[in-house]
Amino acid sequence: MKIALLAIKNRKMLLNLIKSDFKNRYLGNHLGIVWAFIQPLVMVAVYWFVFTKGFRAQAVSDVPFLLWLLAGMVPWFLLNDAIMSASNAITSQSFLVKKIVFEVKLLPLVKIGSAIIVNLAFWIFLILVCFLYGYYPNLIWLQLIYFFLCTIAISLSLSLLFSAVMPFLPDVGQILAVVFQVLFWATPVMWNPAMLHGKLTYIIKLNPFAYLVIGFRETLINQQAFWLHYNQMIYFWAFTLCCYWLGNRTFNKLRPHFADVL
């Protein structure tokens, strides 16, 4: 993709912008970057307490519930943060958009890169929990790289579209917030997809985020190769490429008008 070549060509500037964005997100707060981890950790703790103590949730397929929960929630945190922040890339970085010599299409990548840095701490915590329950690294874990690339690809594809439209339709940000609240429960983050039967099984497969959450979970816990689900893989990449085509086309069409509305 052209944007990948653009990122490689401007890699030094891109890395500097990612570092700057990472610092600026929490600049001015006394606890700084700590706030990036407090809210998600509190959310995980609340869900763990409610489901294990309130609903008496047991191990899922003999997997400790805390590990099963984290293996789904940590990828979701990355998806949610990457797409939501990258979709706001143009409106939040208006001073860069107005610079003629700056390649604006890099801005969503900056936000995605910043989200990845924040998410790394959760992955370290998740890996430690894996060790605690006796799940150790193996060759299958290498496919985590593949699922990270999938996450970056779909985040970039969707954010190109949303970030291009948002300067003209600010309500898109609020709509996305509501949509992601619904998607959180429509994606098997908190529940086991094995619970579904009949047509519902096929409906959930239409959710590309489900492919990622299940993929990360099966890699870490079940140690299952991603190519075994080739049907979902083909659908995921077809969906992602279509979104990229639409997002790239929309971005290029609206790019000349960004400075006028910001």
Contact 99, 154 (CB under 8 A): no
pLDDT digits (tens, 9 = 90+) for 23-53: 777 655 556 667 667 766 777 777 767 766 6
- The answer on pLDDT for 239 being more than 90 is yes
**Tokens linked to 225:** 């190769």
Q: What is the mean pLDDT of the segment spanning 227-246? A: 92
Q: Exposed, middle or buried: residue 11 (CB in 10 Å: 0-12, 13-18, 19+)?
A: exposed
Map out the domains of the chain as residue ranges.
2-261
pLDDT digits (tens, 9 = 90+) for 183-204: 988 898 888 887 777 777 777 8
- The answer on pLDDT for 76 being more than 60 is yes
Sign (positive/negative) of CA torsion 59, 64, 70, 76? negative
pLDDT digits (tens, 9 = 90+) for 91-107: 877 776 666 566 788 88
Check residue 88 and give left, alpha or beta (phi > 0: left; psi -120 to 50: alpha).
alpha
pLDDT at position 26 is 65
- The answer on pLDDT for 208 being more than 90 is yes
Neighbours of 136 (CB within 10 A): 9
pTM for this predicted structure: 0.86
Mean pLDDT of the chain: 83
CA distances from 232 to 27, 96, 189, 208, 212 (A): 41, 38, 17, 8, 10
Tell which wins on pLDDT, 250 or 103: 250
The model's confidence at residue 56, banded by pLDDT at 50, 70 and 90, is: low
* Percent of the chain's residues with pLDDT above 70: 85
Sequence-distant (6+) residues with CB within 8 A of 222 are: none
Tell which wins on pLDDT, 131 or 51: 131
Q: What is the mean pLDDT of the segment spanning 160-181? A: 90
Among the ranges given (13-27, 111-125, 225-239), the one the predictor scored with the smallest mean pLDDT: 13-27
- The answer on pLDDT for 57 being more than 70 is no
Q: What is the mean pLDDT of the segment spanning 150-178? A: 91
- The answer on pLDDT for 55 being more than 60 is no
- The answer on pLDDT for 20 being more than 90 is no
pLDDT at position 100 is 57
Q: What is the mean pLDDT of the segment spanning 54-75? A: 75
Tell which wins on pLDDT, 216 or 56: 216
Backbone angles phi, psi at 63, to 5 degrees: -100, 130
Tell which wins on pLDDT, 215 or 261: 215
The model's confidence at residue 180, banded by pLDDT at 50, 70 and 90, is: very high
